[in-house]
Amino acid sequence: MSYFKFASSVVLIISLSVLGHAQVLNKSWGSITHQEEGPWFATEEAKAIAENVLLYQRDIGGWPKNIQMQNPLNTTEKAALIKQKNSTKEVTTDNGATIQEMLYLSKMYRQIPDPRYKEAFLKGVQYLLEAQYNNGGWPQFYPLKKGYYTHITYNDDSMVNILRLLQALKDNTETLSIKPSPAQLQKIDVAFNKGIDCILKTQYKQNGVLTAWCAQHDEKTLKPAKARSYELPSLSGKESANIVLLLMSIDKPSEAIKNAINHAVTWFDATKILGLKREFIRDENGKFIDKQIVKDENGVPLWARFMELEDNTPFFCDRDGIKKATIDEIGDERRRGYAWYTDIPNKVLEKYPEWLAINKVSTENKSPKNAYNMVVSKDGTGDFTNIQDAIYAAKAIPAQRVIIHVKNGVYNEKVHVFSWNTKITLLGESQEKTIITFDDFFNKINLGRNSTFHTATVLVEGDDFIAKNLTIENASGDVGQAVALSVNANRCFFENCKLLGFQDTLYTAGEGFKQYFKNCYIEGGTDFIFGEATVLFESCTIHSKTNSYITAASTPENQEFGYVFKNCKITANNEVNAVYLGRPWRIYAKTVFVNCDLGKQIKPEGWHNWSKPEAEKTSFYAEYHNSGAGFQPEHRVKWSHQLSKHEAKKYSFKNILGNNFSKNH
């Protein structure tokens, strides 16, 4: 069933008389535009309304919102509208604007092929195409209006309505009577596909698992965003339902679309509220005066309009923007004037079994073609669309190496390689375009003093792990402790990888564990390489984003090696001019730089004791044959070391990492 036929079934249908001349002036504009097509659209009344629609359209192609187009206009009002034709203020797709007017003109044109109707409709199409962001989303207003209006807007189904109209045009469903030119149809097809891609990219991941959508997403970061004071970033039961119904209507859906639907349905099933019912209170004249949520064991499932991003807990908000746990805690005006609950997801759950059958989608866990050689691709052409699912499918303690090929794309997920997932290789398609990113940080996790260790975008606990040709990012920014990569495993190898973050970018954990980074780029602010493992960094670029400390080793007392940097470039942002090579997280810290090019940002003293005088006797900080403006051995702290050629021979690959760690690992 097309969207427009579906919409007709859920709005008030206007009954037609035998002659098709029923009056509609007492109906809302939305009801008029969604009524079933028929002879009424050839009446004088319908034509008069069409003239109003043409008058209200701006030259840019769109319409303002909340206009009851069926209301008669006097001469003065018509003249004012003509003067406003070239204005672009308040042109929008919010509250059904522009889409409703286009639907009306299409229904008129089928009955009365007036070329003005066609011209206005096609101008509307062009408006929609021009309003689309490059990332596929649409703002609430175009031209852009300052404020939250620039966000990608799913609220009140704004973007879904646009995509439904474009879908009807590109699929030539005969739902619409006006046909764009072949050139415009090609643009419509591109716009529709970009819009669907935006939907897939904005589906929110909760602890690495796809869930639903927010009512609006930031147009740049694609993250959930705030709108009005009571519309806080959250998962939306209402808007998400119509997004999924749109995805379900797509013929021959990609694996990525199937994956999005399956995860959304799982989320709807997990977040439904049972045992409640919405009750609308009316006065003796039938006028709505209040609504309540009452207990009803037989009530249909409901969903909250807003749910917490972290755990799906419903919340409610008044105009003060303060979250409340129950609807009774907010004022009468917002309680009565906003749809805090919805039952629309029931339509998704009802349609889901049929959709599964039509598209031959299995709800069972997907098995890869080759358990030792899997492919992850965002476009659905691989075995999986996200990395964690591939790891879930990997054999425990495998007899041979499990290679997971990760195609180019931005994977917005937390990845956990469990201790039983040994011999895993993540092989990216390219360092620059294969990106694993997430934005957890200490205060966001908020699990007490050890919250840092829960923030990692990628957590590796399986021995003999390899990663090549990819980027791992903690995108939270300068907000305190926020780990990009945490390695708590032995014999792990990273080559041609980028590690991006700020404070605590790379955590190398595990007493006695050996880890190797080759040709990698690692950036951060404070202590952005820290931990107790023995780690060799070879031919890497180590980049400081702030005046602070590069390393914070916590080498165990009896461990021979801590951090060793060989043939590395130590760089920084242009404004950075005061960076220490390291400070001791624990007092037996060991860090050595060999044959490294040290930028001018390195402080002459080189090392810091972290206000631990005893660490000056127990830690071991050394250099050999370094170069660059930052290499000033004569000014180094007296408790650091400049190695002799004989002493430097100790820092060989074999001595540091051992016989079981091959360079061809």
Residues annotated as catalytic (active site), given as ranges: 504, 527
Q: How far is CA 273 from CA 175, 204, 314, in A?
A: 36, 20, 10
The DSSP result for 76-98, as a single string, is: HHHHHHHHTTT--TT-B-GGGTT
Alpha-carbon dihedral 657, 659, 660, 665, rounded to 10 degrees: 70
The residue assigned the tokens 């049972």 is 274
**What one-character-per-residue DSSP string does 589-617 give?**
-EEEEES-EE-TTB-TT-B--TT-TTHHH
Backbone angles phi, psi at 262, to 5 degrees: -60, -45
Q: How far apart are CA 474 and CA 488, in angstroms?
A: 17
Radius of gyration of the chain (CA): 31
Is the bond preceding 233 in cis, omega lying within 30 degrees of 0?
no
**CA 396/CA 392 separation, integer angstroms:** 9
User: Helix 182-202 to helix 158-170 angle, to the nearest 10 degrees?
Assistant: 140
From residue 456, give the alpha-carbon distance in Å to each of 318, 384, 507, 518: 35, 22, 9, 21
- CA 463 to CA 532: how far, in whole Å? 16
Residue 367: is it exposed, middle or buried by C-beta count within 10 angstroms (0-12/13-18/19+)?
exposed
First to last CA, the chain: 56
Contact (Cβ atoms closer than 8 angstroms) between residue 120 and residue 54: yes
Six token digits for residue 315: 């919340």
Q: Where are the alpha helices (DSSP H) in 342-468?
A: 345-358, 387-393, 442-445
Q: What are phi and psi of 45, to 5 degrees?
A: -60, -45
Evaluate whether 13 touches 36 at the Cβ level (below 8 Å): yes
CA dist 622 to 8, 208, 445, 540, 609, Å? 76, 41, 36, 18, 14
